[in-house]
Amino acid sequence: MERRVLTMRDEGIHIDEIARRIDRTPAHVGRVIAWTEIPRTGPRTRTSPTAMQRAVLRLRADGESHDEIARRFNRGPKYIRQVEGLAHYTQGLELLT
């Protein structure tokens, strides 16, 4: 909703009209716009692999198949492939920081 409100505002649509289009009050629309200007200070995105991701990468480097690793973790091979892919992705993020 925030993006929609900001897009309409940037297009020059008056706050009253934005409120009518999203079925909210003009005061609500004003608050939404004000909230978007507050800097976000949430937790940082994880930029290093989790313990499971590191374990999967280590086992794959040791030559184990997805099926073998899946049995160890009581998961399916498809899940292990996803964990491995995410581990490679987060390692790439780690290199960027």
Contacts 24+ apart (CB under 8 A), 72-78: none
Q: What is the pLDDT of residues 3-13, one digit of tens each?
A: 999 999 999 99
Q: What is the pLDDT of residues 71-92, one digit of tens each?
A: 999 999 999 999 999 999 888 7
User: What are the boundaries of each domain within the chain?
Assistant: 2-36, 51-96
- The count of other CB atoms within 10 Å of the CB of residue 43 is 5
- Orientation angle between helical segments 51-61 and 77-96, nearest 10 degrees: 110
pTM of this prediction? 0.52
